[in-house]
Amino acid sequence: MPFDFRSAERVRRHDPGTTLRRRPDDRLPFLGGEARAGTGLLLDTCVYIDQMQGRAPGIVEDLLAIRPVHHSAVALQELMHTVGVLDPADARSGRAVASIGTAIDAMPPHRIVVPDLDVLARAAVYAGMLSRNQGYVRDARMSALHDCVLFLQAMKLGFCVLTRNLTDFDLLLQMRPDGRVLFYRT
């Protein structure tokens, strides 16, 4: 499929043109008191980290047990970046790398989804708008790009993003209210 610049560029119609603010919690889609069946989930990297560190709340574990769970190549990439960043001389690194390996090995290959060119291009435009409007610099720009890819990938596949990243995904929901996100706190 050839790349369609005009189609990807049209996402600029969602440009808020101004700095966005995170909305109050009562306006965000948080997990309720009990896990409910529903659409498939695409996990943000923080979900894996919270699970590895034993900080994922019970409601998250319950939700993961009853919904179809999908894994984005973006989250896998972020986890592998962590493997590269960890200092091999630090005694804690070996345990962390082993935990990451266990998490990745547990991902069924048929549930790992790779973003296509359309998602990557559109995500780049959204991340650029967020970077400009929110005043993001360096690392925040790359983080925004990853979040945008995950968000748009979930939209395209009909999934819901599960995350505790309130600020960034709330901004995306403000730009694209048709996206689906479920928030939780540790």
Per DSSP, 14 falls in state G
Among 162, 169, 170, residue whose Cα is nearest residue 186: 162
For residue 85, name the pLDDT band (cuts at 50, 70, 90). Answer: very high
174 is in which domain, residue-wise? Answer: 5-16+25-183
Tell me the per-residue pLDDT of 87-127, one tens digit each, with 9 for 90 and over: 999 999 999 999 999 999 999 999 999 999 999 999 999 99
Q: How far apart are the first and last CA of the chain?
A: 41
What confidence category does residue 6 fall into, taking pLDDT thresholds of 50, 70 and 90? confident
Distances (CA, A) of 159 to 68, 105, 183: 9, 22, 14
Residue 15: per-residue pLDDT: 87
- Check residue 12 and give its pLDDT: 84
pTM of the predicted model, to two decimals? 0.93
pLDDT mean across residues, the chain: 94
Total of domains in the chain: 1
pLDDT of amino acid 9: 74
State pLDDT tens for residues 12-22. Answer: 888 898 999 99
CATH at residue 12: 3.40.50.1010
Q: How confident is the model at residue 144 (pLDDT cuts 50, 70, 90)?
A: very high
Query: Which residue matches tokens 């790779």?
Result: 114
